[in-house]
Amino acid sequence: FPCAVAAITFILLAAPLYFVSSSRLNHWGIRWAFAPIEHWLSRPERAAAFNIISPVIFLGALVSVILLNLAPLVSLGRALLGNDAIPVLRLKIKYWNLFAVGLSLLLTLALVGYAFVENVASHGRL
């Protein structure tokens, strides 16, 4: 089950990973990876649709990855301490799931940082 979850979530990570990677490469002057996105953004109506839909898809996929991979890693239970039952949070180490969560958090940080720079810093509102 955890390996299947990790495999599914790497499929979910494909779109945000491609967008962040191709945007970074485009910024460094390597334009071929961003060309399909640039073609899509070349028309104003498609660019407007992309600007509305892409955050939902990218951030939705990233949040889904985090939640799906935390399920096999974290469990909540009870332990007896004397006569009292106390809540216990158990963490398991499963490297693929941890890697998926870490990559998702990194991509989320990159997308939120990009959105901040594009919408706030570039307009001189800082």
Rg (CA), the chain: 19
Average pLDDT over residues 116-123: 73
pLDDT at res. 125: 57
Regarding beta strands 84-91 and 74-81, do their DSSP bridges make them parallel or antiparallel, or are they unpaired? antiparallel
Instruction: Specify the pTM.
Output: 0.79
- Stretch (H or E) spanning 91: strand 84-91
pLDDT at res. 124: 62
